[in-house]
């Protein structure tokens, strides 16, 4: 009975926020909302009131633009959604770049304490000296295994880099948004192997391209929407890979093949005598 009264209170408050008459029984209130939701504009408005956000898609991408993971969200994206995707991977990336690095590190550590190490995903120990150097731009943290695999791989190290270190860094446009001074040790520009060489806005560029699909995607049934998005992303990845492979072959004019990790490898040019 208490649950029912709370539910009626929520519906009554929702009617008030939508500018509808909030008097009457629960059935009367639901009928008014149902009638109001016949238009798409009103539907989106009421949906946002209920969920606090209209949801969307969360993606994890390589800086080259390939989408590796995608998740449909009913609510606004949160660190939980990206942690779900990352923890489903067989090999966690050594470096994760996002616009809420501290939140992702904190949430993931609550679920799997040793996920981001060392220093909770920061590049160095958050001492007063290290923070001061990072803020003044006098600090660099070299991660040589990003360009050449470790000769003696760490136990449980990533198969590509050989390193078992895992960092969470801010993308270039959000690194100054945080108020925690320790987050100055999460700046992308501190790593010479990454600074100026990584497109940290790959996800924003992808969604900018997908905006043209919003009308017909949002008018589809939920199951159809998910099916279409997965197919769009699949064909996007295929075209991206084909173009990259074509450009590499054209540039180097030599034998190209894929290794066990689906990386493009330059083969030796065969000489005929």
Position 45 pLDDT exceeds 70: no
Give, in order, the Cα–Cα distances in Å from 38 to each of 35, 46, 63, 153. 6, 11, 42, 60
Residues 19 and 118 in one domain: no
List, for residues 170-183, the tens digit of each pLDDT value: 988 777 777 889 99
Q: Is residue 272 part of a domain?
A: no
Domain count for the chain, please give it: 3
273 in any annotated domain: no
Q: Is 9 helix (H, G, I), strand (E, B) or coil?
A: helix
- 31 in any annotated domain: yes
Q: Specify the pLDDT at position 167.
A: 96
Of the pLDDT bands very low, low, confident and very high (cuts 50, 70, 90), residue 254 is confident
Q: What are 97's strand-pairing partners?
A: 169
Residue 265: what pLDDT? 80
Tell me, what's the pLDDT at 269?
45
Classified as helix, coil or strand, 40 is helix
Same domain, 84 and 194: yes
**Does residue 173 sit in the same domain as residue 114?**
yes
Long-range residue pairs from 7-12, CB within 8 A, at least 24 positions apart, any chain: none
Please state, rounded to an integer, the average pLDDT across all residues of the chain: 83
pLDDT reported for residue 190: 94
**DSSP secondary structure, 221-256, as one string:** -HHHHHHHHHHHHHHHHHHHHHHHHHHHHHHH-S-E
Which secondary structure element, helix H or strand E, spans residue 59, and what is its range? Answer: strand 56-61
182-210 pLDDT, tens per residue?
Answer: 999 999 999 999 988 888 778 888 888 88
Res 271: pLDDT: 40
Mean pLDDT across 232-260: 86
Write out the residue range of the structural domain in which residue 230 sits.
Answer: 220-266
Question: The whole model's pTM is what?
Answer: 0.74
Mean pLDDT in residue range 51-67: 78
Give dist(CA 149, CA 133) in Å, integer: 28
Q: How far apart are CA 61 and CA 89, in angstroms?
A: 13
| Length of the chain counted residue by residue | 273
Rounded Cα distance, 124 and 253, in Å? 42
Q: What's residue 217's pLDDT?
A: 85
**What proportion of the chain, given as a percentage, has pLDDT over 70?**
86
Q: Clarify whether residues 171 and 225 are in a common domain.
A: no
Residue 206 lies in a domain: no
């Amino acid at each position: 009975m208490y649950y029912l009264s709370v539910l009626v209170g929520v519906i009554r408050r929702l009617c008030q926020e939508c500018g509808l008459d909030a008097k009457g029984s629960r059935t009367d209130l639901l009928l008014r909302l149902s009638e109001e939701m016949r238009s798409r504009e009103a539907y989106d408005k009421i949906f946002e009131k209920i969920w606090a956000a209209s949801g969307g898609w969360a993606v994890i991408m390589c800086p080259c633009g390939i989408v590796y993971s995608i998740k449909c969200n009913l609510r606004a994206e949160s660190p939980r959604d990206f942690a779900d995707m990352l923890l489903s991977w067989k090999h966690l990336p050594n470096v994760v770049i996002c616009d809420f690095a501290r939140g992702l590190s904190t949430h993931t550590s609550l679920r799997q304490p040793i996920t981001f190490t060392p220093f909770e995903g920061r590049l160095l120990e958050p001492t007063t000296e290290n923070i001061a150097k990072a803020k003044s731009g006098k600090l660099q943290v070299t991660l040589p295994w990003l360009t050449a695999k470790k000769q003696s791989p760490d136990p449980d190290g990533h198969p590509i880099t050989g390193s078992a270190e895992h960092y969470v860094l801010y993308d270039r446009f959000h690194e100054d948004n945080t108020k925690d001074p320790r987050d100055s040790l999460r700046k992308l520009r501190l790593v010479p192997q990454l600074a100026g060489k990584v497109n940290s806005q790959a996800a924003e560029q992808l969604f900018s391209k997908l905006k043209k699909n919003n009308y017909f995607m949002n008018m589809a049934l939920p199951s159809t929407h998910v099916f279409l998005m997965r197919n769009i992303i699949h064909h996007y990845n295929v075209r991206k890979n084909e173009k990259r492979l074509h450009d590499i072959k054209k540039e180097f004019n030599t034998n190209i093949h894929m290794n066990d990790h689906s990386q493009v490898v330059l083969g030796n040019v065969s000489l005929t005598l």
